[in-house]
Structure 1
């Protein structure tokens, strides 16, 4: 059982603060890797921090398991929190407030092999040609990233 499941057993549907490391993976063409569960919205790779792992270990584990890439070097891009990161799961009524830790990675190896057992798809997109079905918070942060990369 993971950390969130353990906490949910103790607190029910009450709000839970979670830490979610995420990573903007940029290839040599300046494109960003986005992933999604089939028929979901596009997002950057990320996962919920588990007990006894660092944020860097969390994101490297997630990307390797879900997408098949090994991340080499991570650069901190930003830490985000606030009311715009409060999420309520319709089916369960569970409420989460996320502290998002964003990284940038341009050094990685491997081949994109999404975890089909979890129904994940992943592909690179040009920053000026993002899909319309993208998380709005992530879209805004990618626009900041685009400006950061142009400097």
Structure 2
């Protein structure tokens, strides 16, 4: 059982703060890797921080497990929190606040083979041609990223 499941066992559906390291992976053509669970919205890959784990270890572990990629280096992009990352489902499910730690990666190995058991889709997209089903918060941050990359 992981940390969040343990906490949920103690606090039920009460608010929980979750640290979610995420990574914008760019290929040699400047396209970004987005992923989604079957039927969900597109976003950037990441995971939930576990006890005794660094944010970098969390990203590397999750990207390897979910997408089959090995992350070689990471560059901090930003840290985000606030009402945009607060979720309180209407049907009484778990309530949580996310602290997102965003990284950028251009140095990785592998072809990207999503874990079929988790029904994950993954695909590279041009920053100016993101799918309509992209999470609005992620889409806004990718627009910022595009501006930064154009200045480099």
TM-score bucket (shorter structure):
over 0.9
Q: Give the equivalent residue in structure 1 for 2:64.
A: 64
Q: Give the equivalent residue in structure 2 for 1:20.
A: 20
Counterpart secondary structure, 2:113: coil
Task: Pick which of 83-92 and 34-43 moved more.
Answer: 83-92
Give unpaired runs (5+ residues) of structure 1. Answer: none
Q: CA deviation at 1:90?
A: 4.9
Counterpart secondary structure, 2:6: helix
Q: Give the equivalent residue in structure 2 for 1:77.
A: 77
Q: Distance in 2 between matches of 1:10 and 1:124?
A: 39
Q: Give the equivalent residue in structure 2 for 1:55.
A: 55
Greater strand content: 1
Q: Does 1:104 align with 2:104?
A: yes
Q: CA deviation at 1:88?
A: 2.3
Q: Distance in 2 between matches of 1:66 and 1:92?
A: 28
Cα 1:126–1:60 shift into 2, 3 Å: same
Q: CA deviation at 1:46?
A: 0.9
Q: Give the equivalent residue in structure 1 for 2:122.
A: 122
Q: Distance in 2 between matches of 1:126 and 1:18?
A: 29
Q: Give the equivalent residue in structure 2 for 1:4.
A: 4
Q: Give the equivalent residue in structure 1 for 2:147.
A: 147
Counterpart secondary structure, 1:40: coil
Q: CA deviation at 1:38?
A: 1.3
TM-score (norm 1): 0.97
Q: CA deviation at 1:63?
A: 0.5
CA deviation map 1:4-29 (0-9, x unaligned): 11001111111000100000000000
TM-score (norm 2): 0.97
Aligned length: 151
Q: Distance in 1 between matches of 2:122 and 2:91?
A: 26
Q: CA deviation at 1:40?
A: 1.1
Give unpaired runs (5+ residues) of structure 2. Answer: none
